[in-house]
Amino acid sequence: MAEICIVHQFYPVGQGLFTTGSIRFTPPSKRTGRSFKYQGKPEPHHLGPYLWVYDCGSTTSKRLVTNAIERVKIGCAGERIDLLTISHFHNDHISGLVELLGQVGAKTVMLPWAHLWRRLLIGFDQGLREDDAEMLFFVDPVLYLTQEADGRFDRVLFVRPSEGDGPPIRPEPIFPPPTLEDSEDREKDDGPGDGISESGLNDLDVSGKNSVERVRILESGKSIPVLHGVWEFVPYNDPDTCPKDAKGFANMVSYLRESLLNSADDDREEALAKLRRYYEAHFGRASTNEVSLMLYGGAVGTWKGQRFCECDWPYHRLIGTCGCWKEFETRGAILLTGDGNLSNASKWNNLKSYLNAGRAVGTSVFQVAHHGALANWHDGLAAAVLPSNSVFSSDPRHNYGHPHAEVLRDFWPFRPVQVDQHSGFSVHMFLDR
């Protein structure tokens, strides 16, 4: 019998988002006796855990993020994160990124791809100036992470805008789950996405400084299979978002491109100063950013599962079961939306069409977009999503007032969970077939 053990966890960081997870796969074994003992009980050989993170930031308190990173570091037990996804470039989603990489490290850092001019608009919208060190992240994220995180990652994976059809749902894993004997000699994972040439870096609007080996692309319609294809991640980069009246700014960025990407620091700062003056004259601090990489994760094929809630784990072990256990067919799926725009039915339908309703609808965990903000929601969204758990990650005391009452009422029948500076949330699931 094959088994998948899943953990989805939201850390208490207040106004921000820091989500982690792990997937552990136990393949079927042809032999008997191929196990080791743990506290006197046989424990089967397994693959993983595959460790993932979605966003790492807060504007409530830096200490909250640091505390959470320390807990993640302990949980990783010396292993690096396999997939670190950043939904977008706002401070409450990235403030802990460099610290997380420095403390834990990552094999793949996945970012939504956007034109250089769009990244710069986002940076200026965050109030950054040309001499702020963080501004380099918006100019050249690969170079920034290489310098600030001391290269504590293998690759940056850019996700292209999700146009056309998404990846098909597979009724079974990509190939049959391997037996234990096959899994012991599995090939090294070279990471997701396609490599890129020197000329391809220009199309991505990043510099060529030590970047070719570190940069990969995930084209539209592609998924990320992991653990021999029994689990998949499907990112969604909304192709219909674009700031208004940005043509002049984009043209100016194009004119200054060489100074931004391939010049000394002083030349870059001078170019950024010109762009900032243009930005302030034409945009002010308008909301110009709707970029937010959404991420689906779920098991491939049909599995039967058991779930337990936040009840104390030793309590379950003591009595064997309790009322929060339930057997059901499931993918154990999670849908993370970051600050994504789901403000009308068309937005949701586009996401559902790309992911396929079999993925998007009825997930075990749904992270409500933009901390439960009214502007990123439409009436009836919850009934369309049909999640088992609806997570609001926010600081209700913050002047934003998230989550807004209308959004909370909409998700009230779907087990809304408030994750704030005081309380986190986790779901543990066991799937078998």
Query: Of the ranges 30-39, 112-121, 361-370, 373-382, which one carries the lowest mean pLDDT score?
Result: 30-39
pLDDT for res 343: 92
Reported in sequence order, the residue ranges of 190-326 that DSSP labels E, i.e. its strands, are 194-195, 215-218, 224-226, 231-237, 293-299, 303-308
Q: What is the pLDDT of residues 104-133, one digit of tens each?
A: 999 999 999 989 998 998 899 888 999 999
Q: Is 99 helix (H, G, I), strand (E, B) or coil?
A: helix
Mean pLDDT, rounded, for 241-268: 87
- Kindly write down the DSSP assignment for every residue of 185-214, as one continuous string: TPPPP--SSEE--HHHHHHHT---TT-GGG
Q: How many secondary structure helices (H) and strands (E) does the chain include?
A: 16, 20
The pLDDT of residue 285 is 56
State how far the Cα of 203 lies from the Cα of 158, in Å rounded to an integer.
Answer: 12
Exposure string (b/e) for 102-132, b if CB count within 10 Å is 16 or more?
A: eebbbbbbbbbbbebbbbbbbbbbbebebee
pLDDT score, position 33: 41
> How is 362-415 classified by DSSP, letter by letter?
T-SEEE-GGGG-GGG--TTHHHHH--SEEEEES-TTSTT-PSPHHHHHHHGGG-
In the chain, pLDDT over 90 holds for what percent of residues? Answer: 60
Mean pLDDT of 365-380: 94
Q: What is the pLDDT of residues 10-58, one digit of tens each?
A: 999 999 999 999 999 988 765 444 444 444 444 556 788 999 999 999 9
* Model pLDDT, residue 392: 96
pLDDT at 149 over 70: yes
Domain-by-domain residue ranges, the chain?
A: 3-29+40-432
Report the chain's C-alpha Rg in angstroms: 22
Comparing CA positions, the residue from 148, 143, 129 lying closest to residue 269 is: 129
When the pLDDT of each residue in the chain is averaged and rounded to a whole number, the result is 85
186 band by pLDDT with thresholds 50, 70 and 90: very low
Residue 307: which pLDDT band, with cuts at 50, 70 and 90? low
pTM of the model: 0.89
